[in-house]
Each structure stands twice: as C-alpha cells, then as structure tokens.
Structure 1
Amino acid sequence: MSREDLLGGLSAVATQGQVRQISHEQLHRAPWQPRRSFPRDSLLALARSVRREGVRQNLIVRPSPQQPGRYEIIAGERRWRASAPDLSTNLQLSVEEAQSLTGAPPRTLPCLVLTIDDHDARRLSAVENLQREDLDAVDEALYRLLLIQDVLSEGQTDAAPDDPSTLAQTLGRRLHAVRNHPEKHEDERTRLETLFASLGTMTWESFVTNNLPLLQLPHDLLDAVREGRMAGRSALLIHRQTDPALRQALLDASETGASFQDLRRLVDDHQGKRWKGLAADVRQNLGARTLERLDDQRRARVMRLLEQLHEELRGDAR
C-alpha cells in the first residue's frame, strides 16, 4: 500500500487546497496534536535557517473549528515554532545564541489550506509526522496509536485525550484481545496488518509489545524519554523494578549516561545478590532443630518445597 493509499484519498483533497501566506499570530497548534517534544538545539538551528532563507516548505493547515479567523496546524508545527517572534524568550536563549539569529523572523508563513474534518486532519497529521526523523520514541508511538484508533474506530472521530496513557489503555485492551484471540477478530487483525505493512519498520504485534507500554509510563520516565535523557527500553526496565533502592540506582545511573546494557547489568547484579542472601537465609534455617520445632502441617509444607527444590537442582545437575 502506498502512502497515498494510506491517506485514503487525502492526496486528492490536498490538490484542491490553496496556498496562502498566513501570519504567525493567525496559526495555532491543534489541541489533539500528540507531539510535545521539540528539541531545543534542533529548533534553534531551524530558526537560524528560517531567518536566513525563509520557510521553504508549506505548512498544512485548516480553518480552525474553534477559533474563527484562525488556522489550525495539521503539519508544520516545528516550522511555526521556529518562526516565532518571541523565540528568544520561549527557548531562553543566551546572549550569544540570540545574536546568532541574524535577520528578522518572517511575518507570514506559506500554508496549504485544506477544508477537512477532524478525522482526516488527525490522519493526515499522523502520516506526515511519521515521515520525520526527529520524532522521539513517545511521539512516534502516539502517532501510530492515532492511526490504530483510526482503523479500529470505524469512522469515530474522538480526539486523543491530554493524557496519552488513557488512550493507550483503552486501545491496548482491544489490541491485546485481537492478538490473544485472532480467530474472533479477523477483520480488525487484517486492518492492523494492512496499516503496519504500509508504515513499515515494525509489525502491529511488535508495536503492542515494545511501543505501547511506553505510553503507560509514569510522567517522570515519560518526560525523560521525550527529552532524550533516556532510551525507551531503559525507561521500561526501570519501571518494571519493584525494589525502590534498585529503581533509584538505575535512575541515577541513567542520568549519568548509562546505556541499557549498563542498566541491565545492574539489575542482574542486584538479583544475584538477592539470591545469594536468600540462599544463605534458607541454609541457616534448615537445621534439624528448626524443623523439629515446626508443627506437623508447616513441616509437611516445608518438606514438599524441599522435595521440589531437590528435584529442580538435580535436573540442573543432569
């Protein structure tokens, strides 16, 4: 399936749009737009380019449904942010950084104005943004989730909630049902396979296993991934730990640049120490006098556990 096929006819709609110069103040981000991460250095570099050469690629917008006379950005929010007159304040630029912005910000931006509904606007935005190389793992997962919502919702146009975990949990239950009982959800499974075949890079099952859990992380870890301070799988590894001391040790190591492999070794070392301590405690309490002091029921339970342990260790020895 081609990108145009994925857009479901939106390419034809785009040819009917008009390119206009629209002032920065008339544009605003879409409230349903999931992207939150705009790396500071990358935005500053784009702002320098915009002031030297102008905005060379059209933004895609539509008349704002909520604010008459204004336009909602479907694709191109990064260019809009880089063109802001108050960029220095927004990015808290140093004197040297502000001086590197030669020239004035553009007063107007070239925009392709489309007349499309919420459903098509979100779909077009998701596909356009997934072509970008500067998306962080969380934003990429959110855009994929919006497309999943689109193919599973059969025309519903509910916008993504402010809290991504709500949408992730709702669609996650449905996706797990499709994965665990494919015979009961053949149509949904086919739609998901077709969608992810067109997007490339992964299957929908891989998305459910590796990407969907990212959206359910607590805010501190989610922000760390968004800001590039932590890899997604490092955040998931930290989130799975129930020992507060180990979790804090992993957070501290991650803040100093530890890789996922480094964090994995810390977890393995910690678990090894736990097993050594547990084995020492068991050995200390396995004396004949300790067992003799147990009542009959507890002694019988201990004996069953010892027999299971004995068989397990014998199996390893064999």
Structure 2
Amino acid sequence: MSEDTSKRRLGRGLAALIGDIDKATPEEAVASPVMAADRRVPIEFISRNPRNPRRHFEEEDLRDLAASIRQHGIVQPVVVRTIGDQRFEIIAGERRWRAAQLAGLSEVPVLIRDVDDRTALEIAIVENVQRADLNPLEEANGYELLMAEHGYTQNDLGEIIGKSRSHVANSLRLLKLPEGVRDMLAQGDLSAGHARALISTPDPEALARTVVERGMSVRDAEKLAQRAIEGVRPSRPAKEKDADTLALERSLSDRLGLSVTIDHKTGGGQLKIAYSTLDQLDDLCRRLDRTP
C-alpha cells in the first residue's frame, strides 16, 4: 500500500465518513436526541460485523447506556453498510446497538455508508482505538487482520490510527504470548506493559501468574523476566540491573518494536536484539543502513 493512498484515506477522516456527531455538547445532545441520522432501521435488520476487533463489552456499562437511551434516545447514530435486501452490518456503534436492545427499542437511527471490507474494518479499529474501547489484545488482533488480509504495513497503520510504528509493532508482539497469558491480558489482569516484559521468557504463563498473584509493577515484572531469561529461579538472589540500564532497554525496545537486552561486563558489554521473523530482521537492517 502506497503512502499516498494511505494519506488520501486518512484525509477523509472519521468525520467525513461518520459525521461530526462527536462534537455535540451534552446540552445539544439532550435537545436533539437523534443527530444526523439517514433513517431509522428495525433493530432486527442490523447485525454485528464479525470482523470487528472488539469482543468484550462490560455488562454494567451496557446497562448504564441502556438506561440513558431510555431517557434521551440514541444521540449518536449507528454507522452501518448495506449487506443485502433491507439488511445492514454495523461499521461503528455496536455498543449502542447492544444497549438499544437492552433498552427495548424496536428501531435505531443509522448512518448508511457504502464502504468495502477493508474500509469498514479500518473505521472500526480507528474509532475504537481513539475512544480507548479496545483492550490491548483486541487492538493487536485488529492490526493483524488489516495486515494479513488487506496488505497494510506497520507504517500504514501508524499513519491511519495516529500512533507510532513502534506502538503498532509492540501491540503485534502481544499476539506471540501463550493463550493463558492473552486471556489474562484480555480480562485486564495484566497490562500491556506487563505482558510485553514476558514475551521472551521461557515460561510466560507461569511468570504471568506470579505477576498477578504478587500484584507486581511493570518494573518488577521486567526484573522477574530478566532473571528467568538468565536462567535464575525467581526465588534466588540475582544481581539486578540498575534503573538507567532497564530504562534504556525499554526505550530501545519501544523504538525498535523488538526485545532489547543490555548486559554490562568488565571493559564492555553486549547489546542483544531479538527478532522473530525475517521481516523484522529486514526492517531492522534497513533502519541501520540509513545514513544520517
């Protein structure tokens, strides 16, 4: 995908596709319960997008939103696309659609947009990322879908979602974790920082349980992971790295999107960069080959 194509899509923005509905003040929202809708559609004619990266919806939040909908209606229309005769698929707004069902609504206001699979997935990811509605694993799965099925690069994704390439790379690294660790991450027991610290360890799932049980900080999880990588049992004393070295490792890892280890020794030391795929190695070589 060319940079120009990515920027042209980006230039349209969510406002062009969805409308300026996010800019409404609370007073305007109450005064005009439904804004900028194209039409109202029976709720049973709408289905969720099976490729929407968001999978988890808090029941309590849905109940609160349903109560608000009963009082004020749906302020922000659900964005949909046509998928058949009088059938629609959600592009953005699945949470509002679910809450509307809880509220007992028979119809919901919609904005109808004629977009392809790639653009629909892109909008769903951008909207959820901007609103911080995705957990780290859902975000990573969304990026992987765009890359695997629609040819996006990490740089393309960074442009589209307004994040750095290293942010995208670090998100994708979470998908390498064992299923048990990914479950803890999805449930919120582990943060993305905790999870990234465990990726290169021999037994991430065992360490993740230790981190959760002990309520460890990210810094403590990094120290635990480093001891495991060095082959030292967590209960045995080990020489800890100083804060500056750990900070430098984190900084380089975030910038490169790869696991970086620094080992100081008498008269020198070692800088280790771990990669998992040839694409990562090629990307690293290209960055090292760049002239100032």
Alignment TM-score, normalising by the size of structure 1:
0.56
Secondary structure, in 3 states, of the residue corresponding to 1:30?
coil
* 4+ aligned runs moved over 6 Å, structure 1: 1-4, 9-15
* Code of the aligned partner of 2:171: N
Deviation at 1:112, TM superposition (A): 0.8
Please tell me whether residue 32 in structure 1 is matched to residue 42 in structure 2.
Answer: no
Structure 1 window deviating more from structure 2 (138-147 vs 44-53): it is 138-147
> What count of residue pairs does the alignment treat as equivalent?
221
CA distance in structure 1 between the aligned counterparts of 2:44 and 2:132, rounded to whole angstroms: 27
Structure with the higher fraction of residues in strand conformation: 2
Which residue, 175, 192, 198 being the options, matches 1:215? 175
After superposition, residues 223-302 of structure 1 pair within 5 angstroms as: 223-243=183-203, 247-255=205-213, 257-268=215-226, 271=230, 273=232
Q: Is the 8 A contact 1:241 1:247 kept in 2?
A: no
* Code of the aligned partner of 1:121: A
Tell me which of the two structures has the higher relative contact order, counting C-alpha pairs closer than 8 angstroms and 6 or more residues apart. Answer: 1
Distance verdict in 2 for CA 1:273–1:143, change over 3 Å: closer
* Code of the aligned partner of 1:37: H
Deviation at 1:273, TM superposition (A): 4.6
Please tell me whether residue 120 in structure 1 is matched to residue 119 in structure 2.
Answer: yes
Q: Is the 8 A contact 2:178 2:205 kept in 1?
A: no
Structure with the higher fraction of residues in helix conformation: 1
Q: Is the 8 A contact 1:60 1:112 kept in 2?
A: yes
Q: Is the 8 A contact 2:41 2:110 kept in 1?
A: yes
For 1:70, the equivalent position in structure 2 comes to: 87
Distance verdict in 2 for CA 1:49–1:147, change over 3 Å: same
Q: % of aligned pairs identical? A: 33
After superposition, residues 37-116 of structure 1 pair within 5 angstroms as: 37-65=56-84, 68-85=85-102, 104-116=103-115
For 2:163, the equivalent position in structure 1 comes to: 201
Distance verdict in 2 for CA 1:12–1:261, change over 3 Å: closer
Distance verdict in 2 for CA 1:131–1:4, change over 3 Å: farther
* Alignment deviations for residues 68-112 of structure 1 (CA, whole Å, 9 cap, x no partner): 442111100111112223xxxxxxxxxxxxxxxxxx532211111
Secondary structure, in 3 states, of the residue corresponding to 2:38?
strand
Flag structure 2 segments of 5+ consecutive residues without an equivalent: 20-35, 239-263, 269-292
* Code of the aligned partner of 1:128: E
Distance verdict in 2 for CA 1:52–1:3, change over 3 Å: farther
Flag structure 1 segments of 5+ consecutive residues without an equivalent: 86-103, 154-174, 176-191, 280-311
Secondary structure, in 3 states, of the residue corresponding to 2:89?
strand
CA distance in structure 2 between the aligned counterparts of 1:220 and 1:6, rounded to whole angstroms: 36
Secondary structure, in 3 states, of the residue corresponding to 2:90?
strand
